[in-house]
Structure 1
Amino acid sequence: MAVRLSRATLGQLRPAVGIPGYRPEELSPGIVHIGVGNFHRAHQAAYLDELFERERDRDWAVVGTGVRESDAAMGRDLAAQDFLTTVVTQEAERSQARVTGAMIDFVPPGDSAAIIERLVNPRTRIVSLTVTEGGYYIDPATQAFDPGHPDIVADAADRLASPKTAFGLIAAGLLKRRAAGLQPFTVMSCDNLPGNGHVTADAVTGLVDLIDRVDTLWIRENVAFPDSMVDRITPATSERERQSLRDDFGIADSRPVFCEGFRQWVLEDHFPAGRPRLEDVGVQFVADVAPFELMKIRILNGGHAAIAYPAGLLDIHFVHEAMQDAQIARFLSALLDDEVIPVVPPVPDTDLAGYKRTIERRFANPRIGDTIRRLCLDGSNRQPKFILPTLRDALRAGTPIDGLALVSALWCRYCYGETESGQAIGPNDPEWSRLNQQAQQARSAPETWLQMRDIYGNLPDDRRFRKAFCRALQRIWQAGTRASIDDYLASRSP
């Protein structure tokens, strides 16, 4: 019989399960985190849990909140188990479970006044967020903040009286602290975005700029938005994982997190209001995060895209199964070697070839259970961040692009909504209806896909890219995914 997770039942868990050695009353809040999904609880919260376990910095506990209805459901489930989360790290040879307790409270989405009250509390010195790559109101073509988005316009029209966006909440909290004579908190993005600190600053100030440019200037001059690079493969949780936790560890947890053992966090050391000593638990503090960030986004996230779409079209369900497919594994390796790594600048104390081998090993981990569908999600936001910038740099450098163009063509073919066996592909993108319509037209007229300038920008104006994309998509429709990959592999220079 599995033990229902709560503070009261920790002593009933199996000896092999790690549990917090600290009590809730020993913690006090220092961080408000927006978006307490799986990645946050496997990454930032796990680092803090380890720090608290070492009897350090226990005034940096997390108060969670969010801006979506799914965040509200998450908060209710976590509250029912005293905000505890079971984190299961999985490697090929073993799994380990630890109950973490870095979160001590949750403010429901929609209660703007209560959230802002937390933000204004002097104890709050960091506001962090994981709202996904698509949550920053970025124009895909320009990669700049979009002040015309209806959510942003609504918060500005309301003059931040009852903000509904993460950035409206942050801005309201900062301005109320200013009015009260309190030091501003640091805003720390933990999302997968190039220059995520700058992107977050642009979102907050871009919104405030619609209301009062004097306030915008104050935020620019007084608020810290450090850049960060975060990394830990963390699949979505399904009933499969919950049942596995019950069977293998005897724990009934509504919101467990399964993840790989590998983790990395590189942070710009810019925290005027103070920070926990995360360097004691493995976080790297550096002056410039950009090289680490670019490496990860282009090699890991770009690599995910490279295997996701062919695997999705071939009805492969799990990521590790895609890596067991010799052809897909070869395609990934060749693409990274020939087209991605050559346009990744040097990274301090890092061997890019070694990093690539680590990525391949991580993708092949059979215990993670990461799905191809998750990797295919939200391509309209991810392609402009993970694939198209590499394409632009390769075009400027005059290096090969046929593999990158093939990845983009495979994404188009995926958005057609049908695998090569005829299985339907369900909507998997906020823009799915439009993408599906464009993909249907592109079957006979490939350039139709490239007309989405909000995604591709001026890339279609480059004749070399346009020709490579159209050739790849035509070949996919004529001969299939495997033949198209074989053509690419055969065309590589010896």
Structure 2
Amino acid sequence: MPTKLSAATLPSIAETASVPGYDPAELRPGILHFGVGNFHRAHQAVYLDDLFATGSDHDWAIVGTGVREADNAMRSALEGQDWLTTVVEQEADSSSARVTAAMIDYVTAADSAAILEKLADPAIRIVSMTITEGGYYIDPSSQRFNPQHPDIVHDAENMSAPRTAFGLILAGLMNRRAQSQTPFTVMSCDNLPHNGKVTRDAVVGLARLFDADLADWVEANVSFPNGMVDRITPATSDRERRLLAEDFGIADASPVFCERFRQWVLEDKFTAGRPALEKVGVQFVPDVTPFETMKIRILNGGHATIAYPAGLLGIHFVHEAMENPLVRAFLEKLEREEIIPAVPPVPDTDLDAYYQQVAERFANPKIGDTVRRLALDGSNRQPKFILTSVTDRLAAGQSVKGLALESALWCRYCFGTTDAGETIEPNDPIWERLTAQAKLARDNPAAWLEMVDIYGNLGQEQRFAEPFAKALEALWRDGTQKTVTRYLEGTLF
């Protein structure tokens, strides 16, 4: 019978898992975090847990919150186990479990009054977030903040009861300004280029809709550090809960399974101090851009590269995709010929070695990451992870045929059926629109590239549009296996 995770059961759980090397009751809040999902609990919370175990910075504990009613399911799960989380780190030949206690409270999600009260607490010196790449109200084609989004318009007109993370953050900053308090730092932990700048643009852009002076004050007084985050962290299902109970004897309502590898590179720019995370492996650098470009293009672009052919071939797990010779070879060729050459140099980093490590991480059979998760939300991810490489290579006069094939595979995936005719369930916030465009593109490939909010002017660029059309036509005529094989042989284009 597995032991239910709680503060009271930590002594018995310590027989099979690592437990906090400090007294969680002694922690005090310092960070309010929006979006307490798996990645946050496997990344930021783990780094803080390590730091607290050194005896340092016990006044930087996390208080969780969110902006969706659905976030309250996580709150309920964690409250029932005293805010503790079991993190299981997995490699091909080993697994280990640890219990983290870096989070000490959780403000009810979507309760704007309670969240604003917490934001007014001077103890809160950092407000962080993992709200996914699609949560920043970015226009995909321009990659800039969209002030016309209905949620943003709502908040601009209702700052006493905002409903977005950015509206709540801005209202909290307004209160700090009115009370002459030091503003908190706003720190994105999401996986998107220049995440600090993107977050600043959202907060300042919202402020400019109703108070230019406030917008100027935010720009002048609030820090938005850029950061690169990395750890492969699949969604939790009954499979993970069962494995935790069987392998470690722990009953956790929401455990996190992840790889052992983790990385966090941060710009050292904080308004009101920060925890000494450099003690536990966080890299503080003057410019995060080279690191995030490397990660987003090689790792996340690599995820996209294997997701759509694997999805069309009916492959379920990512490690199974890496075991498929066709998918593995497609990743290798596209990375080496078109993606890696478009990545600028990174300090003290060998890009080839970095890619080799990424490929090994993808192939980890213990993680249980799914192809469907990698294929999720392509409308937000493709412009960031794939099309940036396309744009840079075109500007340099270089071929984008492999990247065009990747984009054609995404289009074919969004048609909604595998090569075997099995239904692909909706897997994007705008799935209906994508499916409609993919159906039009079956006979007219240009129809897919007419989505200018995603592709911008790339549909007019024949060096991309022509190989895209040829690849999509081949996918419909010959299927994924034969089309990708011809690409690998050099006979597709």
Q: Aligned-pair distance for 1:119?
A: 1.0
Q: Judge which range, 476-485 or 303-312, deviates more.
A: 476-485
CA distance in 2, matches of 1:5, 1:15: 13
CA distance in 1, matches of 2:400, 2:483: 14
Describe the shift of the 1:14–1:280 C-alpha distance in structure 2 as closer, same or farther (beyond 3 A).
closer
CA distance in 1, matches of 2:76, 2:240: 20
CA contact (8 A) 2:125 2:184 kept: yes
Q: Aligned-pair distance for 1:175?
A: 0.8
1:265-344 superposed matches below 5 A: 265-344=264-343
Matching residue's letter, 1:112: S
CA distance in 1, matches of 2:324, 2:20: 41
The answer to whether structure 1 residue 126 and structure 2 residue 134 are counterparts is no
- For 1:253-286, what per-residue CA distance to the aligned partner results, in whole angstroms no more than 9, with x for missing partners? 0110000000000000001310001000000000
Corresponding residue of 2:76? 76
CA contact (8 A) 1:260 1:368 kept: yes
Q: Aligned-pair distance for 1:333?
A: 0.7
Corresponding residue of 1:439? 438
Q: Aligned-pair distance for 1:109?
A: 1.3
CA contact (8 A) 1:127 1:188 kept: yes
Corresponding residue of 2:218? 219
| SS of alignment partner, residue 347 of structure 1 | coil
CA contact (8 A) 1:235 1:370 kept: yes
Q: Aligned-pair distance for 1:90?
A: 0.2
Corresponding residue of 2:262? 263
Unaligned runs of 5+ in 2: none
CA distance in 2, matches of 1:59, 1:226: 20
CA contact (8 A) 2:221 2:271 kept: no
CA distance in 2, matches of 1:48, 1:18: 15
- For 1:425-448, what per-residue CA distance to the aligned partner results, in whole angstroms no more than 9, with x for missing partners? 000000000000110111111111
CA distance in 2, matches of 1:64, 1:15: 29
Corresponding residue of 2:165? 166
| SS of alignment partner, residue 8 of structure 1 | coil
Corresponding residue of 2:60? 60
CA contact (8 A) 1:64 1:105 kept: yes
CA contact (8 A) 1:83 1:104 kept: yes
Percent identity, aligned pairs only?
A: 63
1:113-152 superposed matches below 5 A: 113-152=113-152
Q: Aligned-pair distance for 1:492?
A: 8.5
Q: Aligned-pair distance for 1:386?
A: 0.3
- For 1:325-350, what per-residue CA distance to the aligned partner results, in whole angstroms no more than 9, with x for missing partners? 01111110110100011110000000
Q: Aligned-pair distance for 1:70?
A: 2.0
CA distance in 2, matches of 1:427, 1:110: 26
1:452-467 superposed matches below 5 A: 452-467=451-466
- For 1:25-80, what per-residue CA distance to the aligned partner results, in whole angstroms no more than 9, with x for missing partners? 21000000000000000000000001111111110000000011221110111111
CA distance in 1, matches of 2:264, 2:110: 30
CA contact (8 A) 1:14 1:249 kept: no
CA distance in 2, matches of 1:395, 1:480: 27
Corresponding residue of 1:104? 104
CA distance in 2, matches of 1:110, 1:67: 4
Matching residue's letter, 1:152: I
- For 1:146-205, what per-residue CA distance to the aligned partner results, in whole angstroms no more than 9, with x for missing partners? 0011110111111x1011000001000011001001000000000011100000000001
Corresponding residue of 1:383? 382
Corresponding residue of 2:153? 153
CA distance in 2, matches of 1:392, 1:476: 24
CA distance in 2, matches of 1:492, 1:87: 47
CA contact (8 A) 2:234 2:369 kept: yes
| SS of alignment partner, residue 267 of structure 1 | strand
Q: Aligned-pair distance for 1:400?
A: 2.0
Q: Aligned-pair distance for 1:252?
A: 0.5
CA distance in 1, matches of 2:75, 2:384: 30
1:337-486 superposed matches below 5 A: 337-486=336-485
Q: Aligned-pair distance for 1:491?
A: 1.4
CA distance in 2, matches of 1:492, 1:132: 38
CA contact (8 A) 1:447 1:470 kept: yes
- After superposing on structure 2, the runs of 4+ consecutive aligned residues of structure 1 that deviate more than 6 Å are none
| SS of alignment partner, residue 70 of structure 2 | helix
User: Aligned pairs, how many?
Assistant: 492
CA distance in 2, matches of 1:422, 1:474: 17
| SS of alignment partner, residue 173 of structure 1 | helix
CA contact (8 A) 2:16 2:249 kept: no
What's the RMSD between the two structures over aligned residues? 1.0
Matching residue's letter, 2:26: E
Matching residue's letter, 1:375: L
CA distance in 2, matches of 1:61, 1:13: 22
Q: Aligned-pair distance for 1:14?
A: 4.9
The answer to whether structure 1 residue 47 and structure 2 residue 53 are counterparts is no
| SS of alignment partner, residue 211 of structure 1 | coil
CA contact (8 A) 1:139 1:146 kept: yes
Corresponding residue of 2:251? 252
- For 1:96-123, what per-residue CA distance to the aligned partner results, in whole angstroms no more than 9, with x for missing partners? 0000000000001121111111111110
Corresponding residue of 1:179? 178
TM-score, normalising length: structure 1: 0.99
CA contact (8 A) 1:14 1:250 kept: no
Unaligned runs of 5+ in 1: none
